[in-house]
Amino acid sequence: MLLLAAPFLLPPTPFSAVLSRLFLYDAAMLFLGIDLGASALKLIVIDAKGLPVAHIAAPIATLSPAVGTFATAEQDPKLWLITLETLLDNLFKNSAVKPEDITALSITAGTHIAVLCDNDMQPLRNAIMWSDQRAASIMPKLMDAEDKIVAESLHAPNPTWTLAHLAWLLENDSDPIRETHKILPAKDWLRHCLTGHIATDLSDAVGLQLVNAHKEEWSATLCDLAGVNVSQLPEIADSKDYAGQISESAAQRFKLSPKTAVYTGAIDTSTELLRPSDYKSDA
């Protein structure tokens, strides 16, 4: 069914959104993109031609706990879900987009952001953000293993990367590490909350700095340095892999259709290189 999209604003700040310029779009095939940024959660709906139909965003609070003199940054993953729920509610209430119109969705986020999950896949602590620099305090120890780290990951030790975050936790706050059932990058935890699917893609696996970049599989050597086991890490899937449909519980909470297909996704700096026309129907 063809609908006419006219410009209008969705409700006021802290939520900001606008429906795109006046044009005809096919409501029978819409796609939802979810982008967890460092300071905001953003949603965009596009049609089959890649034209924007609606978008909406809201800020995400970042916490800065005192850890010596280092700059710190953490976010509460549960707040991501609360914000996503509110944004979707506003999107469906204030635009012509309906849950059943969304054929598929995928999620992106910044890398180097790990969620440590318990047996119920609930966060054991706030997620340390990529901008957090507390791991600078253990860099001398990691630099002693620089040759091994570079040989496996093709990247030097860096306090921004998750390997360093986990190594810092091992020395300074080890309870969450010991209690962790699974470690999921931010986008993958969000996707799990929508589908129950547990996996990551290679772009986020590389961002954790726990993967052997040559073999494209988890590295026991790097995991040992971080104080974790390979069994605590998810399967590495292709970014384009089908990850299931919206679970019944997520459909109720987030007002999404249980028929919506979900795909694995990739980190923000990878997905920003793509555009809808890069994927053809026969690809």
Quick: pLDDT tens for 112-131: 999 999 999 999 999 999 99
pLDDT in tens, 195-214: 999 999 999 999 999 999 99
pLDDT at 73 over 80: yes
Least confident span in 4-18, 19-33, 155-169, 231-245: 4-18
* Residue found under tokens 């034209």: 51
CATH of range 2-272; options 3.30.1490.190, 3.30.750.210, 3.40.30.10, 3.30.420.40:
3.30.420.40
- Phi/psi at 46 (5° precision): -125, 160
Which of 174 and 11 is assigned the larger pLDDT?
Answer: 174
Cα 198 → chain centroid = 13
Task: Please check the confidence at residue 83 and state whether its pLDDT lies above 60.
Answer: yes
Tell whether the model's pLDDT for residue 282 goes beyond 80.
no
* C-alpha dist (Å) from residue 218 to 6, 16, 42, 211, 251: 48, 40, 30, 4, 33
Q: How confident is the model at residue 74 (pLDDT cuts 50, 70, 90)?
A: very high
Q: What is the DSSP string of the chain?
A: -EEEE---BPSPTTSEEEE-SSEEEETTSEEEEEEE-SSEEEEEEEETTS-EEEEEEEE---B----TTS---EE-HHHHHHHHHHHHHHHHHHSS--GGGEEEEEEEE-SS-EEEE-TTS-BSSPEEPTT--GGGGGHHHHHHTHHHHHHHHSS---TTSHHHHHHHHHHH--HHHHH-SEEEEHHHHHHHHHH---EEEHHHHHHHT-EETTTTEE-HHHHHHHT--GGGS-EEE-TT-EEEE--HHHHHHH---TT-EEE----HHHHTT--GGGS-TT-
For 214, other C-beta atoms within 10 Å of its C-beta total 11
pLDDT of res. 12: 38
Residue 91: pLDDT above 90? yes
Q: How far apart are CA 190 and CA 258, in angstroms?
A: 16
Distance CA 269, CA 283 (A): 22
Residue 269: predicted pLDDT: 78
Specify the higher pLDDT residue, 7 or 189: 189
Query: Cβ neighbours of residue 102 under 8 Å, at least 6 residues apart?
Result: 30, 31, 32, 45, 256, 257, 260
Residue 228: C-alpha distances to residues 68, 111, 218, 221, 260 (Å): 25, 19, 11, 10, 34
> For 135-172, what is each residue's pLDDT tens digit?
999 999 999 999 999 999 999 999 999 999 999 999 99
Regarding predicted confidence, which is higher, 52 or 248? 248
pLDDT at 272: 72
pLDDT of 24 reads 60
Residue 70 identity (one-letter amino acid): F
Token pair listed for 120: 């119920």
**Domain map (residue ranges) of the chain:** 2-272
Tell me the pLDDT band of 3, cut-offs 50, 70 and 90. Answer: very low
Statement: residue 36 has pLDDT above 50: yes
pLDDT at 268 (0 to 100): 82
pLDDT mean over 261-279: 78
Whole-structure pTM value: 0.89
pLDDT band at 280 (very low <50, low <70, confident <90, very high): low
Q: Cα–chain-centroid distance for residue 12? A: 25
Instruction: Supply the pLDDT for residue 51.
Output: 87
Q: Which of 275, 283, 252, 282 is nearest to 85 (CA)?
A: 252
Please give the pLDDT value at position 211.
98
